[in-house]
Amino acid sequence: MNMYEILLKKRNGKELDQQELSYFVRGCVDGSIPDYQISAMLMAIYFQGMTPKETAVFTQEMACSGDMLDWKALHQRTVDKHSTGGVGDKTTLIVVPIVASLGVVVPKMSGRGLGHTGGTIDKLSAIPGFQTQISQEHLWRLLEKNHAAIIAQSGNLAPADKILYALRDVTATVDSLPLIASSIMSKKLALGANAILLDVKTGSGALMRDLDGSIRLARTMVEIGKAAGRNTAALITDMDTPLGYAIGNALEVMEAVQTLHGTGPEDLTQVSLSLAAGMLSLAGKGSFEHCFELAKEKLYDGSAFEKLKEITLGQGGDISYLECPKKFSLSPFQMEILSPSEGYLAHIDTLSCGLASMLLGAGRQKKEDKIDAGAGILLLKTVGDFVHKGDPIARFYCQSQSQAFAAREEFQFTISSEKPKGRTLILQKIGF
Ligand code: URA
């Protein structure tokens, strides 16, 4: 077997078998296949696609390219969640404590934000002292004690994905369904939870903007998870409008705390309860509807908030910020964006909102950029609200006027004389 033959086969649209896929993945990790052949393979996959079987095998091979974690010795059900990314998506901070407060173990590995989408690790970094780089031994102790930990992707999990993702980024092969599905699922499989809930976002701020594409991605990932013996399901959730009102790291932690006190935005509360219900149901706690009620109970009786404090304390964070969110310092330069006319706020372009927040300092354009934890956008109105000319729509938080002006250029919304249709938050459930 050699790489040239494998490339030729894929280029000609044939299905690769397990040995060939294994040869390719091993060669990526041990450096024996040069970048130009890996890139050619990525482009061949981009154009020829992969069969469901091929995608499942490829994902397994990527998952096995590094450490495979295993939580069996905890003798507890473990469940993981993955969001395909969005704007204002702070659900992890709400969902993980809800699920853990019901005794289900959540070893949650999260990412940092890049481009227009935020990352849970950046949000947690807004809490002074919160450590997300922790050893496996420490993680184990936290799971035993608190039933949950939220940590940064570290160690040697799915190293093949790191190599392939970096090359996809520079070869215009990111937006390939089998490559996205295998990239996400390889990390989930390596993390080792028994059950996996996928939150596949759809709409103007999502990786997949159209519903059909989101459904195809969700189905592919659910099939991969099931083929690997994991109880996997997906929810397709709306990301045509930012989730909640807060975009930016400290702002989002503050809104998550508000939601855990039962007084958060309706959309964020409903999506979080649905995700928690999905995770609990996959972990064997009963039907989706029953689990939704369980989740609601733990949200409104304060147990989930207490659990977030336990998780924070366990990871070195200062819980006084959760107890008194006014302690978070927001960036000093503030500017309000005013409505240019009277009418209904018909649409907020969620991608533009994420990009504006990044320009304010809440996100990074390049991996090495520094985040300003107090920067971001607080929406003062949401889609469907009636506004008068001059009413504030949003408040920007940043360090300088020039940042605010750049973000104002980016931020887009539509005012219309017609009231927009109501929003469906959960568009489909797949695999339940
Ligand atoms: N997230 C990932 O981890 N991989 C992708 O390819 C896209 C989003």
pLDDT of 114-126, one tens digit each? 678 888 999 999 9
Instruction: Kindly give the number of the ligand 1 atom that is closest to the alpha carbon of 111.
Output: 3
How far is 342 from 118, CA to CA, in rounded Å? 31
Helices (H), 347-416: 350-360, 401-410
Question: Is 183 annotated in the active site?
Answer: yes
The helix-helix angle for 288-300 and 303-314 (nearest 10°) equals 80
Instruction: Kindly give the number of the ligand 1 atom that is closest to the alpha carbon of 168.
Output: 6
pLDDT of 376-431, one tens digit each? 999 999 999 999 999 999 999 999 999 999 999 999 999 999 999 999 999 999 99
pLDDT of 252-301, one tens digit each? 999 999 999 999 999 999 999 999 999 999 999 999 999 999 999 999 99
Q: Whose CA is nearest to atom 2 of ligand 1?
A: 184
Question: Is 53 annotated in the active site?
Answer: no
Ligand 1 mean position to 185 CA, how many Å? Answer: 9
73: DSSP letter: G
Q: Which of 80, 89, 122, 161 is catalytic?
A: 161
pTM reported for the whole predicted model: 0.95
114: DSSP letter: B
Q: Smallest Cα–Cα separation from 96: which of 233, 251, 259?
A: 259
pLDDT of 304-327, one tens digit each? 999 999 999 999 999 999 999 999
Terminal Cα-to-Cα distance of the chain (whole angstroms): 41
pLDDT of 20-53, one tens digit each? 999 999 999 999 999 999 999 999 999 999 999 9
| 52-to-15, 168, 177, 400 alpha-carbon distances in Å | 10, 20, 11, 50
pLDDT at position 200, please? 97
How far is 158 from 400, CA to CA, in rounded Å? 40
Q: Whose CA is nearest to atom 1 of ligand 1?
A: 184
Question: Is 187 annotated in the active site?
Answer: yes
